[in-house]
Amino acid sequence: MTLSFHKNERDYQDKYEPCVLMGATKAATGVPDTLVTYHGIGGCRMTMEHLRMDNVPDGLFVPIISTAPDQSSVIYGGADKLERGLEQTLSDAKRRKINLKLIWLFTSCATSIVGDDILSAARKIEERENIKVIPIDTPGFLGGDKTGHELVYTALVENYAKYDAKKNSNSINILGPQLIGSKYWPWDYQEIVRLMEGADIHANVTFCYKSTLDNYNSFGAAVSNYNLSGESFDEFADLSSRYNVEMWGDDLVYPIGIANTEEWYLKIAERFGNIEKAKKLMKEDMNRVMKRIKGDYNSSWFLSDISGKHIGILGNAKYAASLARCLYYDFNCYPVVVGLWGETPASIENAKRILSEMDAYCDIDVYENPTFFEYGNAIKKAEVDFAIGTRYDMRLVRGIGIPHISLGQNYFLNNFSFIPWPTFGIKGVLGLMTELARLIEENIKYEEDGWIANSFIAPLGHKESGSEVVKKCHRG
């Protein structure tokens, strides 16, 4: 058994990859009582609005307003439109009676290249209107999703954190819930907080989801920043060290499924909380799950049908690695192809460490930042039974003839999920089973003599027809 690693040597990146502006917007719109004004064209707005919607289902809505520069603004400069846009932003906020405490001011690619002075515009509005404005240069070419988040995290600490916050040994800040890589991240993040609080671990400040601007005053009260994403935040780490706050948890597995949750929970409880309370809560959650599925034929049929399947997984590096472990340990599936997406080398290396212990059990081809084309060829060659990924690779995978389900990535034309239930934690196993059962349900065929189970299409390269495959598993 071995893990085989494949690096992407191509000169192009064919993958879903939000830019700095999109990442900054995702983070900033997670801060209540603020508003985003971006000095950029309307074409960016659609993506920003969609990605921002991940923050909305739990009741957080932060507006996004464009200054709407046009061709002449790019040629001659758009300072006038920038100032008018900020004035219009304030006018709209007053008219709607928004409790506005901060305006984020971002740039797009074109306006950043032109060099319109966002700092000067911000200071003019601050002096005239007595409202805080934080200008950040966020052109798409500066980097990716993670970089946009880090710029916002850094700005929040620089503008609001206080050095005299009293330390709490059980307190940690949480970084990057929007960067988890699960399409259920709001509920998965909330499950993480529930478990932490159940073990006497205090979630101090969350960058950036629902923590108010005043909450960031106590940033320095935490002993660590729990980095959910696994990406490197070098600039933010340097800033945090001035407050004696260390970075922690980069390569800690996500609590997806039972085995991962036990490892995650005991490690974080031992470091920051009460390990006995963690064990007690895990037992309670396990009893709750058992009560739901014990004696349920649907659950036993599903677990039997999915057992032994060979699967492909594509997603954010830490999420894909954690999900691969969950499917092997808890569902007896074999993740034979795993595609890891990450913005920084650290995210890939952290994911590889999470996968490393599976070297003793599975032969896995691990692809580092694969293109869609590379991933598609890999799962076709491996003859996987089904694939787990995102909406963005769904058409490709199904076009190859492989069943597919989307569990990853952010909102953009992706997350039609309306029930607030997690896929993280032991309790989240029920949510994960519900999603995975769709693979069984959608690939069951109806025969005249009854339902046929386990009717995945014949694996690629096999001569048996689909009907012959399913008849072997006929339950009568």
Q: State mean pLDDT over 441-453.
A: 52
Confidence tier at 464 by pLDDT (50, 70, 90) = low
Task: Give the C-alpha separation, 129 to 83, whole Å.
Answer: 12
The tens digit of pLDDT for each residue in 307-361 reads 999 999 999 999 999 999 999 999 999 999 999 999 999 999 999 999 999 999 9
Confidence tier at 15 by pLDDT (50, 70, 90) = confident
User: In the prediction, which pLDDT does 92 show?
Assistant: 82
Confidence tier at 454 by pLDDT (50, 70, 90) = very low
In 64-164, DSSP assigns E strands to 64-66, 102-107, 132-136
Please confirm whether the linkage preceding 19 is cis (ω < 30° from 0).
no
Confidence tier at 469 by pLDDT (50, 70, 90) = very low
User: In the prediction, which pLDDT does 46 show?
Assistant: 79
Q: State mean pLDDT over 231-253.
A: 96
Confidence tier at 457 by pLDDT (50, 70, 90) = very low
CA neighbor of 252 nearest in space, from 234, 233, 269: 269
**pTM > 0.85: yes or no:** yes
| DSSP tally for the chain: helices H, then strands E | 18, 16
User: In the prediction, which pLDDT does 60 show?
Assistant: 83
Residue 395, number of CB atoms within 10 A of its CB:
11
Q: Categorise residue 475: left if φ over 0, alpha if ψ from -120 to 50, beta otherwise.
A: alpha
- Paired with 365 in beta bridges are 4, 337
CB 404 within 8 A of CB 398: yes
User: In the prediction, which pLDDT does 447 show?
Assistant: 46
User: In the prediction, which pLDDT does 468 show?
Assistant: 53
Q: State mean pLDDT over 31-57.
A: 84
Mean pLDDT estimate for the chain = 88
Which of 20-34, 108-122, 371-385 is predicted least confidently? 108-122
